[in-house]
């Protein structure tokens, strides 16, 4: 039996579990045709279990937290057949996924499960994948799931050994920032500047540690056990790009401005105080042009993004969103946050819980934007029609917004605490309406960059 000590940042996520907010990444993939069970199992064994050891290891605590080989590992223990109530469509699948969100993974087994939903929709099927955040971050998971596909045009996901991953420098990681996710484009000279800033920029550290808790709105409160999950129809990515290009804004500016406008409508409808809302946005610190380490793990930072909810006019809201995004691109907050997470993982449990509460209190929700394959891919010979996934929300946070681009379209998904966001479908409709208003408008003025 082999074992190795869990990295501090990964241990932090493992100990962050609470009954009301489990640290589990939940993803959904759907297909128009059924998957062959034997073919799916062969793919999972070869490209998933055999390639990445954490999927066949359990977490054990023994004077520290360790990854240890599960000698009795059986792939079948992690595959669960599901039959949805009729008509087995998206609404039924959303309800099923919502019911899983607060269900803990078995701590005596490797920390992941796959639910095979068959049938789904009009003769298709779906996969619901659950993985503890201690295994990997959301971007690493997306690359792992992409590695399961068998499309000849998809770029293969290489796997690095521990030595190769360890040799990657901080500058290499900086140069590979997940710029597609929140527009954090960078280059080597700027990476040098950011690396120096991590050491010397007291302002970034002060902002993360000393900023006050987010203002009270109807979206904040005590989290409960009951969650709700919804996602949108696919939205053509070209329309969003064209609309943003007309006014000098990025795709992310447009999408997040739509979310801010929808949250404004949501709060007004609920007669809530309306304040700018601080979103916690993770971004990747692992270079995308390098192989994934076989042991996976977490390598990402966090930034706080204030959404201009109080800005009433749509064109002003988009302009302000663009300005705030630009400010984040020149910030070292994400790198500082990664260092703080590593320190939290080394702290006693009581200190860690206090630190997580402080971290989470500074925001109202978590927002992610993951770029997927530009072309349609297949899994076990069956074309993937769409996918969406959510990283967990920590502390008492009750709002998760996920944006996933795939094959020329964008899907927006919400995962919320039902007690804090009782009208989640209306909120999703608000986002769609706000986005359509932005895409259809011919009066938005130029955003000054």
User: What are the chain's domains?
Assistant: 3-157+170-440 (3.30.559.30)
Which residue, chain included where needed, has tokens 């934007």? 369
The rounded distance, in Å, linking the Cα atoms of 48 and 294 is 10
**Which residues are CB-contacts of 266 (< 8 A; sequence separation ≥ 6)?**
218, 219, 421, 423, 426, 427, 430
DSSP tag of 106: -
Q: What is the pLDDT of residue 207?
A: 55
Q: What is the pLDDT of residue 176?
A: 30
Proportion of the chain above pLDDT 90, given as a percent: 58
pLDDT-flagged residues of the chain (< 70): 1, 151-210, 330-360, 442-449
Q: What is the pLDDT of residue 420?
A: 96
Q: pTM for the complete prediction? A: 0.85
Q: In terms of Cα–Cα distance, which of 12, 59, 6, 24 is closest to 342?
A: 12
Side-chain half-sphere of 65: how many Cα atoms within 13 Å? 21
- For Cα atoms 103, 108, 114, give the angle at the middle one, nearest 5 degrees: 50
Find the distance separating the first CA and the last CA of the chain, reported in whole Å: 56
Q: What is the pLDDT of residue 179?
A: 31
């Amino acid at each position: 039996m082999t074992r190795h000590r869990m990295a501090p940042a990964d241990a932090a996520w493992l100990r962050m579990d609470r009954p009301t907010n489990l640290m589990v990444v939940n993803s959904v993939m759907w297909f128009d045709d059924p998957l062959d069970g034997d073919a799916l199992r062969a793919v999972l064994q070869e490209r998933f279990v055999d390639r990445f050891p954490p999927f066949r290891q359990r977490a054990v605590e023994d004077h520290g937290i360790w990854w240890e080989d599960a000698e009795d590992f059986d792939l079948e223990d992690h595959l669960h057949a599901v039959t949805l109530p009729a008509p087995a469509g998206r609404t039924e699948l959303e309800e099923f996924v919502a019911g899983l969100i607060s269900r803990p993974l078995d701590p005596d087994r490797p920390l992941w499960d796959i639910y095979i939903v068959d049938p789904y929709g009009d003769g298709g099927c779906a996969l619901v994948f659950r993985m503890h955040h201690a295994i990997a971050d959301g971007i690493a998971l997306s690359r792992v799931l992409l590695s399961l596909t068998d499309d000849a045009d998809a770029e293969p996901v290489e796997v690095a050994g521990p030595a190769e991953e360890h040799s990657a420098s901080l500058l290499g990681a900086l140069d590979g920032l997940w710029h597609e996710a929140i527009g954090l484009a960078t280059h080597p000279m700027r990476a040098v500047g950011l690396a120096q800033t991590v050491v010397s920029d007291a302002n970034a550290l002060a902002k993360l540690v000393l900023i006050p808790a987010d203002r009270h709105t109807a979206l904040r409160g005590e989290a409960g056990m009951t969650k709700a999950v919804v996602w949108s129809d696919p939205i053509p990515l070209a329309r969003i790009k064209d609309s943003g290009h007309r006014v000098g804004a990025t795709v992310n500016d447009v999408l997040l401005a739509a979310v801010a406008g929808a949250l404004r409508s949501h709060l007004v409808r609920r007669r809530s105080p309306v304040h700018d809302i601080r979103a916690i946005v993770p971004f990747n610190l692992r270079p995308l042009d390098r192989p994934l380490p076989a042991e996976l793990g977490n390598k990402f930072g966090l930034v706080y993004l204030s959404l201009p909810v109080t800005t009433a006019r749509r064109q002003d809201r988009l302009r302000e969103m663009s300005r705030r995004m630009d400010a984040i691109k020149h910030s070292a907050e994400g790198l500082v946050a990664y260092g703080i997470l590593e320190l939290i993982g080394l702290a006693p449990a009581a200190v860690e819980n206090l630190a997580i509460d402080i971290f989470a209190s500074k925001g109202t929700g978590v927002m992610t934007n993951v770029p997927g394959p530009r072309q349609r891919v297949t899994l076990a010979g069956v074309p993937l029609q769409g996918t969406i996934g959510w990283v967990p929300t920590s502390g008492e946070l009750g709002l998760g917004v996920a944006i996933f681009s795939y094959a020329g379209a964008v899907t927006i998904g919400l995962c919320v605490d039902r007690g804090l966001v009782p009208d989640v479908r209306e909120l999703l409709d608000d986002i769609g309406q706000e986005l359509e208003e932005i895409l259809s408008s011919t009066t938005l003025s130029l955003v000054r960059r």
